[in-house]
Structure 1
Amino acid sequence: MPALAGELLPGGRRDGPEWRCGSLAGEKGQSLAVRLHGERAGVWSDFASGERGDALDLVAAVLFGGDVKAAMGWSRRWLGLPEDPRSGPVPATVRRAPAPADDAAAEAEAEGRRRAARGLFGHPDTLHNIAGTPAALYLAGRGIELAELGRVPRALRFHPNVWCQEVGCPLPAMLAAIHGPDGVHVATHRTWLAEIDGAWRKASLAKAKKVLGGFAGGTVRLWRGASGRPLSEARDGETVALAEGIETGLSVALACPELRVLAAVSLGNMGSVQLPPAVRTVILCADNDGDNPAAARGLQRAIDRFAGEARNVRVAFPPDGADDFNDVLTSGDGE
Structure 2
Amino acid sequence: MPRHDASELAIRLGREAEAVCRHYLSSGHRAGRYWLVGDVQNNPGRSMFVRLIGPEGGKGAAGKWTDMATGEHGDLLDVIRETLGLVDFRDVAEEARRFLALPHPEPEKTRTPTGNTSSVASGSPEASRRLFAMAQPIRGTLAEIYLSGRAITSLSGTAALRFHPRCYYRPDERSPTEIRPALVAAVTDLAGHQTGAHRTWLAPDGSGKAAVETPRRAMGDLLGHGVRFGAADEVLAVGEGIESVLSPRQVLPRMPMLAALSAAHLAAILFPPSLRRLYVLCDRDPAGDGARDSLLTRAASFGIEAISLTPREGDFNDDLRRHGADALGAALKDQLRPEDARRFMEG
Tell whether the structures are fold-level matches, with TM greater than 0.5.
Answer: yes
CA 61–308 in structure 1, closer or farther in 2 if over 3 Å, else same:
farther
**Quick one: which amino acid aligns to residue 73 of structure 2?**
R
Q: Residues 199-210 of structure 1 correspond to what in structure 2 (within 5 A)?
A: 200-210=207-217
Q: How far apart are 1:288 and its partner, in Å?
A: 1.4
CA 109–4 in structure 1, closer or farther in 2 if over 3 Å, else same:
farther
1:240 and 2:236 correspond? yes
CA 26–163 in structure 1, closer or farther in 2 if over 3 Å, else same:
farther
Equivalent residue, structure 1, for 2:165: 160
Q: How far apart are 1:301 and its partner, in Å?
A: 1.1
Q: Do the aligned partners of 2:34 and 2:49 also contact (CA within 8 Å) in 1? A: no
Q: How far apart are 1:315 and its partner, in Å?
A: 0.5
Q: Do the aligned partners of 1:130 and 1:136 also contact (CA within 8 Å) in 2? A: yes
Q: Residues 28-107 of structure 1 correspond to what in structure 2 (within 5 A)?
A: 32-35=49-52, 38-39=55-56, 40-46=61-67, 51-64=72-85, 70=87, 72-79=89-96
Q: Do the aligned partners of 2:68 and 2:267 also contact (CA within 8 Å) in 1? A: no
Equivalent residue, structure 2, for 1:309: 302
Three-state SS of the structure 1 residue aligned to 2:190 is coil
Q: Do the aligned partners of 1:47 and 1:267 also contact (CA within 8 Å) in 2? A: yes
CA 131–278 in structure 1, closer or farther in 2 if over 3 Å, else same:
same
CA 51–190 in structure 1, closer or farther in 2 if over 3 Å, else same:
farther
1:183 and 2:192 correspond? yes
Q: Do the aligned partners of 2:279 and 2:306 also contact (CA within 8 Å) in 1? A: yes
Q: How far apart are 1:45 and its partner, in Å?
A: 3.6
Q: Do the aligned partners of 2:27 and 2:37 also contact (CA within 8 Å) in 1? A: yes
Equivalent residue, structure 2, for 1:258: 254
Question: Partners in 2 of 1:112 and 1:191 — Cα distance?
Answer: 15
Percent identity over paired residues: 31
Equivalent residue, structure 1, for 2:333: none
Provide, for residues 201-248 of structure 1, a one-character-per-residue CA deviation record: whole Å limited to 9, x for no partner: 1111111111022311111002x2xxxxx34xx2xxx21110111001
TM-score by length of 2: 0.72
Q: Do the aligned partners of 1:240 and 1:259 also contact (CA within 8 Å) in 2? A: yes
Equivalent residue, structure 1, for 2:220: 213
Three-state SS of the structure 2 residue aligned to 1:187 is strand
Three-state SS of the structure 2 residue aligned to 1:204 is coil
Question: Partners in 2 of 1:186 and 1:221 — Cα distance?
Answer: 12
CA 245–4 in structure 1, closer or farther in 2 if over 3 Å, else same:
closer
Question: Partners in 1 of 2:266 and 2:248 — Cα distance?
Answer: 16
CA 110–313 in structure 1, closer or farther in 2 if over 3 Å, else same:
farther
Q: Do the aligned partners of 1:179 and 1:187 also contact (CA within 8 Å) in 2? A: yes
Equivalent residue, structure 1, for 2:316: 325
**Quick one: which amino acid aligns to residue 59 of structure 1?**
I
Question: Partners in 2 of 1:310 and 1:105 — Cα distance?
Answer: 42
Equivalent residue, structure 1, for 2:24: 8
**Quick one: which amino acid aligns to residue 153 of structure 2?**
E
Q: How far apart are 1:180 and its partner, in Å?
A: 2.2
Q: How many residues align?
A: 288
Q: Which runs of 5+ in 1 are unaligned?
A: 82-93, 95-101, 225-229
Question: Partners in 1 of 2:177 and 2:97 — Cα distance?
Answer: 41
Question: Partners in 1 of 2:245 and 2:82 — Cα distance?
Answer: 32
- Further displaced range: 164-173 or 271-280: 164-173
Three-state SS of the structure 2 residue aligned to 1:279 is coil
Question: Partners in 2 of 1:50 and 1:314 — Cα distance?
Answer: 20
Q: How far apart are 1:12 and its partner, in Å?
A: 5.7
Three-state SS of the structure 2 residue aligned to 1:201 is coil
Q: How far apart are 1:110 and its partner, in Å?
A: 6.5
CA 259–16 in structure 1, closer or farther in 2 if over 3 Å, else same:
closer
Equivalent residue, structure 2, for 1:113: 124
Provide, for residues 255-284 of structure 1, a one-character-per-residue CA deviation record: whole Å limited to 9, x for no partner: 112311111111111121111121111110
Question: Partners in 2 of 1:71 and 1:255 — Cα distance?
Answer: 56
1:133 and 2:145 correspond? no
Q: Do the aligned partners of 1:179 and 1:221 also contact (CA within 8 Å) in 2? A: yes
Q: Do the aligned partners of 1:50 and 1:268 also contact (CA within 8 Å) in 2? A: no
Among candidates 144, 149, 152, match of residue 144 of structure 1: 152
Q: Let me know the Cα RMSD of the aligned residues.
A: 3.4
Question: Partners in 1 of 2:40 and 2:120 — Cα distance?
Answer: 24
Question: Partners in 1 of 2:319 and 2:140 — Cα distance?
Answer: 24
Q: How far apart are 1:10 and its partner, in Å?
A: 3.9
CA 80–273 in structure 1, closer or farther in 2 if over 3 Å, else same:
closer
Provide, for residues 82-120 of structure 1, a one-character-per-residue CA deviation record: whole Å limited to 9, x for no partner: xxxxxxxxxxxx9xxxxxxx9x979x9878621111100
Equivalent residue, structure 2, for 1:88: none
Q: How far apart are 1:137 and its partner, in Å?
A: 0.7
